[in-house]
Amino acid sequence: MTEHMNKQAAQLPAFRPVRPSARLAVGGLLLAGAAWGVRAAWEFRLFLAGEPASGPPDQGEGVHRPLNALENSYHAVSSLAGGAVVVCGLLFVSWLWLLRDNARALSGQPPRYLGIWVILGWFFPIVSFWFPRGIVVDAFRAGEPGRKVPLSVEVWWGLWLIGMVSGVGIVARDTTDELIARAYTEVWPLLASDAAVIGAAVAGVFAVLAVSRSQEARIRAARAVPSAGAVGTPAPA
């Protein structure tokens, strides 16, 4: 009987633990959201201070005036926020890759998206609008086709897209000095985009927890099936 149970255990797919990677991804999201909140606060400080009499930092034709203390501090805060987003991205992609590997083991089917898209799917034009979400959804539904995706996943992805396509959020087209000039004169679109990015980080926390808990439950169920079968297996005579 022991030999039979050992054979069944050997036939189980190799699952990777979800919880440690999920906790790191959650930490990265909280860090990025907090850093972006500080960035938004500095933009509002610039708005309240008002544009100096000398005009915006970038005065055109390659001329830049010396920055004041508040503008210099915004450069530092903006750089730190960008660094936090990079750290968050690395932790999130690591979690997503693990999730995808476990989903393949659960379903026994090759993933719909090649592994390279776990990384490049965030950067390539057009496909970046649905590949990352598709990888999360496919991993969630592995072993349970047709199951409804958690609302937090949809909220996370919707807010992420707003922050990405607004042009002043994660993928800003303006330089830092140009963002400073906009904060002086039209801060509300900046703050709206910041709110979308922060909201995406918060919703991402709930999405990571929901998807991770679901996959953990499916892994426990997959491991329990052969064990339950082994209980009723008679010992050889």
Question: What is the per-residue pLDDT across 130-187, written as a single tens digit (0 to 9) for each?
Answer: 899 999 998 888 767 778 899 999 999 999 999 888 766 566 677 899 899 999 998 9
**Model pLDDT, residue 45:** 97
Phi, psi of 58, deg, nearest 5: -90, 110
In the numeric block, the tokens 């900046």 are attached to 190
Residue 237 has pLDDT above 60, yes or no: no
Whether 232 is covered by a domain: the verdict is no
Domain that holds residue 185: 17-217
Whether 29 is covered by a domain: the verdict is yes
Once rounded to an integer, what is the mean pLDDT over residues 185-213? Answer: 94
Record the pTM.
Answer: 0.85
Whether 203 is covered by a domain: the verdict is yes
Share of the chain above pLDDT 90, in %: 51
- Total domains present in the chain: 1
Of residues 202, 29, 204, 82, the one with CA closest to residue 132: 204
pLDDT tens readout for residues 43-63: 999 999 999 988 888 887 778
Once rounded to an integer, what is the mean pLDDT over residues 31-44? Answer: 96
Of residues 143, 200, 208, 138, the one with CA closest to residue 169: 200
Whether 10 is covered by a domain: the verdict is no
In angstroms, the CA 90 to CA 94 distance is 6
Whether 225 is covered by a domain: the verdict is no
Once rounded to an integer, what is the mean pLDDT over residues 76-104? Answer: 94
- Reported confidence tier of residue 5, pLDDT bands at 50, 70, 90: very low
Whether 61 is covered by a domain: the verdict is yes
- Mean pLDDT taken over the chain: 85
Q: What are residue 58's DSSP bridge partners?
A: 64
Whether 155 is covered by a domain: the verdict is yes
In angstroms, the CA 126 to CA 7 distance is 47
43 Cβ contact list (under 8 Å, min separation 6): 74, 179, 183, 187, 190, 191, 194
Provide DSSP, 135-161: HHHHHHHTTSTTPPPPHHHHHHHHHHH
